[in-house]
């Protein structure tokens, strides 16, 4: 199964402020990024299932309005017992280890997962399940916050595929994980 991470970080490597806010990230309020989508639409068209953690789910709900994803979403949580009842049927709740989640989603027919959310990304990386990292660096230093990467049981070696810079200063790099 293909498992990808597509995420933006501050230049100093944070995905959110310590309280989870994204005010430094243009478009994080759900308003969109304007004309440039940084390859997101092409990427999401290849994805069968977006897998996100509870905190990411709660941040998205805090934006209000309609659920923003057409792609099916699996929300991971060991504490939630139910999701917002107003969500579309394509949103499901699941618990388990990354390996258990991948097995369950493969049994549902998923072939390409998009992993989102700090702890979720860290857990899937630590389990050796991620194949691709698409990392967009936003030209801002926020000095502290929630880091994208945490402690790992082993080094993860990457093969650089491509890097693209955008007129607004965003820089996006695509890496493949080198299998051991």
**Has residue 61 got a pLDDT over 70?**
yes
> Is the Cβ–Cβ distance between 172 and 166 less than 8 Å?
yes
Q: What is the pLDDT of residue 32?
A: 53
**Has residue 29 got a pLDDT over 80?**
no
In the chain, pLDDT over 90 holds for what percent of residues?
A: 80
Q: What is the pLDDT of residues 13-24, one digit of tens each?
A: 999 999 888 889
Of 26-40, 45-59, 156-170, where does mean pLDDT reach its minimum? 26-40
Count of other CB atoms within 10 angstroms of residue 104: 15
**Has residue 5 got a pLDDT over 60?**
yes
Measured between alpha carbons, how far is 77 from 168 in angstroms, rounded to an integer?
36
**Has residue 57 got a pLDDT over 80?**
yes
Q: What is the pLDDT of residues 151-164, one digit of tens each?
A: 888 999 999 999 99
User: What CATH number has the domain spanning 2-177?
Assistant: 3.40.430.10
Measured between alpha carbons, how far is 142 from 15 in angstroms, rounded to an integer?
10
pLDDT, averaged across the chain? 92
Task: Name the DSSP class of 96.
Answer: S
Of 31-35, 63-67, 113-117, where does mean pLDDT reach its minimum? 31-35
Q: Is 140 exposed, middle or buried (0-12, 13-18, 19+ CB in 10 A)?
A: middle
Measured between alpha carbons, how far is 60 from 52 in angstroms, rounded to an integer?
10
Q: What is the pLDDT of residue 64?
A: 83
The pLDDT of 69-93, averaged and rounded, is 95
Q: How confident is the model at residue 134 (pLDDT cuts 50, 70, 90)?
A: very high
Which two three-digit tokens encode residue 44? 């999401």
The pLDDT of 52-78, averaged and rounded, is 92
- What is the pTM assigned to this prediction? 0.92
**Has residue 143 got a pLDDT over 60?**
yes
Cα radius of gyration rounded to whole Å, the chain? 16
**Has residue 33 got a pLDDT over 80?**
no
């Amino acid at each position: 199964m293909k498992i990808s991470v597509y995420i933006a970080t501050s230049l100093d490597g944070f995905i959110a402020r310590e309280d989870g806010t994204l005010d430094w990230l243009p478009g994080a309020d759900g308003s969109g990024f304007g004309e440039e989508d940084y390859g997101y639409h092409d990427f999401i068209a290849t994805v069968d299932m977006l897998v996100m953690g509870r905190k990411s789910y709660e941040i998205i709900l805090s934006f209000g309005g309609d659920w923003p994803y057409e792609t099916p979403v699996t929300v991971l949580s060991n504490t939630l017992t139910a999701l917002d009842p107003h969500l579309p049927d394509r949103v499901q709740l699941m618990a388990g280890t990354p390996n258990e989640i991948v097995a369950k989603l493969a049994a549902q027919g998923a072939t390409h997962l998009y992993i989102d959310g700090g702890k979720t990304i860290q857990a899937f990386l630590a389990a050796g399940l991620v194949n691709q990292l698409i990392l967009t660096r936003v030209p801002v230093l926020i000095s502290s916050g929630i880091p994208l990467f945490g402690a790992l049981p082993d080094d993860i070696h990457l093969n650089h595929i491509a890097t693209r810079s955008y007129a607004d200063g965003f820089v996006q790099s695509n890496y493949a994980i080198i299998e051991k």
